[in-house]
Structure 1
Amino acid sequence: MQRRRDPVERAADESEDLYDISTWEPRSVTDRLAYSVYNGLNYGLRAIVLIVATAITLFVLVQPAILVTEDPSIAVFFGLSIIPAAVLAAFIWYSDITTNEPLGVLVATFVLAVLFTAFAALVNSTVGLWFRTIPGIGTILFFYLIVGPVEETVKLLAVRVFAYRRETFDAVIVGAVYGAVAGLGFAAIENATYIASTVAEIQAQSQTGLGPTAAATGITALRALVGPGHVIYSAIAGYYLGLAKFNPKYAGPLVVKGLLIAAFIHATYNVTVGIVPDLLAAVLPIGFGLAFLGYVIAYNLGAGYFLYRKLSRYRRHYREIRDDRAPSPRSELTEFEPPQR
């Protein structure tokens, strides 16, 4: 997208100096001071956000770290809980028909998602107390207005602040890849905290001396089921972020659309997973555990199919219009990022 020019600049001779008339660049001491202050605030704000996120994350990880210190086998359960989500993220990465994304950028996106999860946890725990005071629909409103939008936003921000700015973000489908990695990072930290808190609670309440390994088994299986959902939801939002990258005129609405869809699917899962398995167990000759397992898998398959159709359509059109020798597509600047000098 070309830079818009003032009428004076368009009409002037290229050799004419229009500094401070219709063009500008840092020349004077004041110019350079303003430029330095802006960059300091811009990068300083990002640094502050990362420092705060890191501090909150370290605080959240205190309990899991203590449990691992007491029983290192708990760390194995943390890893096992994200295997299904990791496999799904790998499949989405494999579906990227354009290029192989740099490992460093993928790792950075994962780490940022881990850090930004702290903000979602803080908002959920703070605002959730107020929604619980609303009789009847308080929990439903909480999931649709807070949990879904907040969690999907922080996962998308993990993509937006770094991977989105890289030259390797060179195709729409790449947004889904980085979105999936952000979802994996979110699931990893969330699973670790859930498993740790559950094990600690069972240990505190158990009168039979139940060990941490036994206590972790059930919650690990549950979190392993939940993890793929985070990958799917954020991959959907990431796909629309990719569309926004290459459609600068409608970038804002596209980002909002992706977040609305991802948040709605996410919140609907949170609302229905506490209702549907009970209904299935009541009307079908199956136990609650099997009903819960079947519903979670069916829901993830439905949401995953929505994402799969988008990825497969992109792959099909990519094959139709490009061959292996064609140069990789280059992204355009959008209103989300400043022009590079």
Structure 2
Amino acid sequence: MSRRRDPVERADQQSTDLYDVSTWEPRSPLDRAAYAIYSGISYGLRAIVLLVALVITLALLVQPGILVAEQPLLGVFFGLSIVPAALLAAFIWYTDITTGEPLRLLVATFVLAVLFATFAAVVNSLTRPWFEVIPVIGTALFFFLIVGPVEEAVKLLAVRVFAYRSETFDAVIDGAVYGAVAGLGFAAIENAIYIASTVAEAEVGIFTAATGIATVRALVGPGHVIYSAIAGYYLGLAKFNPQYAGPLVVKGLLVASIVHATYNTTVGFVPDVLVAFYPISPEFAFIGYVILFDLAIGYYLYRKIVRYRRTYASIRDDSGTPPEPESTEFDPPSR
């Protein structure tokens, strides 16, 4: 998107110094001081947000850390619980037909998703009591108004902070890749907290308790990857469609949030309905429903990726020069 210009600048034909008339750049000591103060506030706020996220994350990981120190085997269950989600994220990364994404940005996105997931944990914990007093529909409202939007927003934020700003984010499909990695990071810390709290409260042996909850969390993890990859795909579209960037980001969040909330709502009763009508065990009904739900939503994402890949293969420019994305309102001002 081209920079908007004042009428004086448009009429000038670039022959006059318009500093402090219709253009501006840091020249004087006061200019440079103003620029430095603004940069300090901008980066300072970002640092504060990251610091707060780190403190909350460390606080939430105290219990898992203590349990792993006492029972090292529990760390194995933490790792195994994210294997399906990691495999799915790796598959989405593999489907990126354009240039590969640098490892440093993938790792940064993963770590930021771990940190920002704690914001969702705090918001969910504080708001849940408000909805628990609402009869019948309280839980569903909680999932659709709080859990879905908040969790998908913090995962997308993990992509937005660093990866989105990078020059290597040079294709729409990159948004799906980074979104998937953010979903993996979110699933990793969520699984650790769930497994640790379940084991701590269980009255059975650690192996029995950890096996059960780790299996459940392993099934849930791929959903986080799929939902945030969908939102990330639309973030990628937003970067290359600056005139519609805002609505595209909102659309991606709406799709991801609604799907996420639908899963959270239906998984609580659909397996019971299946058990009531079919001679199957509750465990089999739960596993079957989660897999079918993820396959259905995953197919939605897969179709988008496949369509992108086919189009890229058929019309790409073999010059080797990737297109430059235009600036949007989400980008920092050029210097």
TM-score range, shorter chain: over 0.9
Answering whether residue 22 of structure 2 is matched by residue 28 of structure 1, we say no
8 Å Cα contact 1:165/1:337 also seen in 2: yes
Return the letter of the residue paired with 1:320.
S
Alignment partner for residue 225 of structure 2, among 219, 231, 244? 231
Answering whether residue 49 of structure 2 is matched by residue 49 of structure 1, we say yes
Return the letter of the residue paired with 1:44.
G
Compute the displacement of 1:329 (Å).
2.5
Return the letter of the residue paired with 2:196.
A
Answering whether residue 270 of structure 2 is matched by residue 271 of structure 1, we say no
- Give the Cα–Cα distance (whole angstroms) in 2 for the partners of residues 324 and 221 of structure 1: 46
Higher mean C-alpha displacement, 292-301 vs 213-222: 213-222
Compute the displacement of 1:187 (Å).
0.1
- Give the Cα–Cα distance (whole angstroms) in 1 for the partners of residues 280 and 166 of structure 2: 50
- Give the Cα–Cα distance (whole angstroms) in 1 for the partners of residues 317 and 20 of structure 2: 47
Compute the displacement of 1:337 (Å).
1.1
Q: TM-score, with normalisation over the residues of structure 2? A: 0.98
Answering whether residue 256 of structure 2 is matched by residue 262 of structure 1, we say yes
Alignment partner for residue 241 of structure 1, among 235, 243, 257? 235
- Give the Cα–Cα distance (whole angstroms) in 2 for the partners of residues 185 and 7 of structure 1: 48
8 Å Cα contact 1:182/1:231 also seen in 2: yes
Alignment partner for residue 287 of structure 2, among 280, 283, 293? 293
Identity of aligned residues (%): 73
Aligned residues: 335
Compute the displacement of 1:115 (Å).
0.1
- Give the Cα–Cα distance (whole angstroms) in 1 for the partners of residues 13 and 248 of structure 2: 39
- 1:142 is aligned to 142
- Give the Cα–Cα distance (whole angstroms) in 1 for the partners of residues 152 and 273 of structure 2: 28
Answering whether residue 301 of structure 2 is matched by residue 303 of structure 1, we say no
- Give the Cα–Cα distance (whole angstroms) in 1 for the partners of residues 264 and 13 of structure 2: 62
Secondary structure of the structure 2 residue equivalent to 1:327: coil
Runs of 4+ in 1 over 3 A off after TM superposition: 323-326
- Give the Cα–Cα distance (whole angstroms) in 2 for the partners of residues 237 and 43 of structure 1: 26
Correspondences of 1:1-341 after superposition (within 5 Å) = 1-202=1-202, 206=203, 210-322=204-316, 324-341=318-335
Runs (5+) with no aligned partner, structure 1 = none
Compute the displacement of 1:6 (Å).
1.1
Secondary structure of the structure 1 residue equivalent to 2:27: coil
List per-residue Cα deviations over 1:217-244 (Å, max 9, x = no partner).
Answer: 0000000000000000000000000000
Compute the displacement of 1:325 (Å).
4.7
- Give the Cα–Cα distance (whole angstroms) in 2 for the partners of residues 177 and 306 of structure 1: 15
- Give the Cα–Cα distance (whole angstroms) in 2 for the partners of residues 172 and 13 of structure 1: 36
Secondary structure of the structure 2 residue equivalent to 1:333: coil
- Give the Cα–Cα distance (whole angstroms) in 2 for the partners of residues 339 and 40 of structure 1: 15
Compute the displacement of 1:323 (Å).
5.5
Compute the displacement of 1:214 (Å).
2.5
Return the letter of the residue paired with 1:200.
A
8 Å Cα contact 1:179/1:239 also seen in 2: yes
Return the letter of the residue paired with 2:330.
F
8 Å Cα contact 1:171/1:330 also seen in 2: no
- Aligned pair in 2 of structure 1 residues 186, 138: CA closer, same or farther (>3 Å)? same
Q: Quote the RMSD (CA, aligned, Å).
A: 1.0
Return the letter of the residue paired with 2:306.
S
Compute the displacement of 1:3 (Å).
1.3
List per-residue Cα deviations over 1:81-102 (Å, max 9, x = no partner).
Answer: 0000000000000010001100
Compute the displacement of 1:15 (Å).
3.4
List per-residue Cα deviations over 1:151-184 (Å, max 9, x = no partner).
Answer: 0000000000110000000000000000000000
List per-residue Cα deviations over 1:243-279 (Å, max 9, x = no partner).
Answer: 0000000000000000000000000000000010000
Runs (5+) with no aligned partner, structure 2 = none
Secondary structure of the structure 1 residue equivalent to 2:331: coil
List per-residue Cα deviations over 1:55-88 (Å, max 9, x = no partner).
Answer: 0000000000000000111000000000000000
Return the letter of the residue paired with 1:173.
I
